[in-house]
Structures are given as structure tokens and as C-alpha cells.
Amino acid sequence: MRRHQTRTAYTFLLVPLIFYLIVRFLPTLSALRLSLFDWNILKDTQPFVGTENYQRLFADEKFGQALRNTALYTVIGVPAQIALGLIVALLLNKIIALRGLFRALYFAPYVTPIVAAAWVWQWLFSPQFGPVNTFLIWLHITPQNFLNSPDQALATTAALVVWQNLGFQIVLFLAGLSAIPRSYYEAAEIDGANGTQAFWKITWPLLNPTIVFSVVTGTISYLQLFTQVVNLNFTDQGGPLGSTMTVALYIYQIAFGRFQMGYASAITVVLFLIILAITLFQLRFLTRRYDL
């Protein structure tokens, strides 16, 4: 009976594993292969060029700019959405009346279609007609260009992503907070610990698995940022002056704008290695074991 159950378990595990290998690993291996060729769909031949596509990356200023922008998105967005998500989750965890309504309101942006949210955000921050600039004028503050300014466009785009992902972070932290036994806080209160001490000695350590998961998934999401950037400035994708360009968007432009599939595949492989290295680093150095 035990052997039969084990075979059944492996059989059911094998089906999604095969699907995962087909939709994940095969495209990755195909991209690695394409990166070694001058693969252009407009040409009759695709000659083997070895590592030339990778060498080209070092001299590509636009790729360097996209990589810097992607890093800025990650540095700004991940800490902001984790901090805000944790703060809101702590507040929501303390209320009783209308708790479900507040949770639904905060989670609504996460389930809103990204394209629709981006277009609404574009209208809100429009230099000519946007309500945000109207409000600034009411406060006697000079209107801002926001999405049309190379200095402000990236931060405005990052704000959209933070706002949209905030609901997911809140749900994660609410789940983590609900898993912490109430008896720990009661014991700390008996020992004379105040709220701040209880947070740093109990809440923060026991939320470590949730924080690690949030950091890893958030970082991966920002490193692959694409849809928001495309739809916030549809007529100048990645602009103005490349200030919002991301690596994922640059891959798209190289592959489907210039039809240079080999070079786009090389960038894809590099992005994959960057994400893998950062993820392993985060899992290694952020995971902690605490003894209360």
C-alpha cells in the first residue's frame, strides 16, 4: 500500500513537472542557443557568432541605461512596498469594525488590470489636465511634468507599481501576523515590554519568512518590469529620453522592433543570470532562524 501511494504521488508530481519543463526550461535553453547566432528573422541565414552578442552588451549604452533604470526601480520599489505593506497590515490587524471592507479596498488595485491602472495613472499625472497638478495649483505649488520629465518619470512609474502591489504585500503580512501566537505578546506584556519592544523582539523575527518571500518575489517582479512602463507613455515607450526604459522593455524593442532575436536572447540570458544571482543571494543572507 505504501509503495502504491508513493508511485501515485510521483505520477501526480510528474505531470506538472513536465509542463513546467516545457514552458520554462525549454524556452530558456532555446534563448541560450539563439544568443550564439546572428538570428534575424528578416535574413535568409543565421550565422553562428559565438559570444559576439554578449560582447556587444558592454558597448551598448542603451542597455546600460536600461539596466541602471531597472536597478533604480528595484531599489525604490521593493523597500517602499514592503514598508508600506507592513505598516498598513499592522494597522488593519488592530481594527475589528469594517475589517473586511478595508482589506478589500486595499487589495482592489492588485486585481485591477495593469493596462487600465496605467492609463488612469497617466491621466492623473497629466501635465495639462491631471487632477494631481490641479491640486498642486490649488496649494500654490508649481505644476510638475511628472511622466514628461526625465527626472520625474521613473519615480512616478515606480509609484504606480508600488501602489498596485501594495494590496498583495498587505495580504502577505496579514497572513504572517495571524500565524504569530497571541500568547507571545501576552507573555511579553506580563514581562513589561512595550509595543515597540514587542515588535522588534517578536513580530519582526517571526515575520522573517514572510519578509524574505516578499523581498524575493518583489525583486523578481521589478527586474522584469514591463507592462506599466509600456502603457504609461505609450507614444514614447521607455521615455522621455530613455529615463523609464527597463531591460525587459529593451528586450522587446530589440526582438520585435529590430527583429534581432539573437541579440535579444543574449540580453534575456544576462537578465536571467542577474535574477538568479540576486535571488540566491537574498535567500542566503536574508533567511534567519530566531529562538524566542
Higher local confidence (pLDDT), 45 or 252? 252
Pull the grid cell for residue 51.
559570444
How confident is residue 270, by pLDDT bands cut at 50, 70 and 90? very high
| Domain regions of the chain by residue span | 1-34, 62-286
Distance, in Å, from the CA atom of 174 to the CA atom of 188, rounded to the nearest integer, reads: 21
Q: What is the CA radius of gyration of the chain?
A: 23
At the second CATH level, the architecture of 62-286 is Orthogonal Bundle (1.10)
Task: Return the pLDDT at 292.
Answer: 53
**What dihedral angle (degrees, nearest 10) is formed by the CA atoms of 252, 70, 236, 120?**
110
CB distance 69 to 243 below 8 Å: yes
Q: pLDDT tens digits, residue range 67-99?
A: 999 999 999 999 999 999 999 999 998 888 887
Band (pLDDT 50/70/90 cuts) for residue 122 is confident
Largest CA-CA distance found in the chain, in angstroms, rounded:
78
Q: Does position 44 have pLDDT exceeding 80, yes or no?
A: no
Q: What are phi and psi of 221, to 5 degrees?
A: -60, -45
Grid coordinates belonging to 128: 495639462
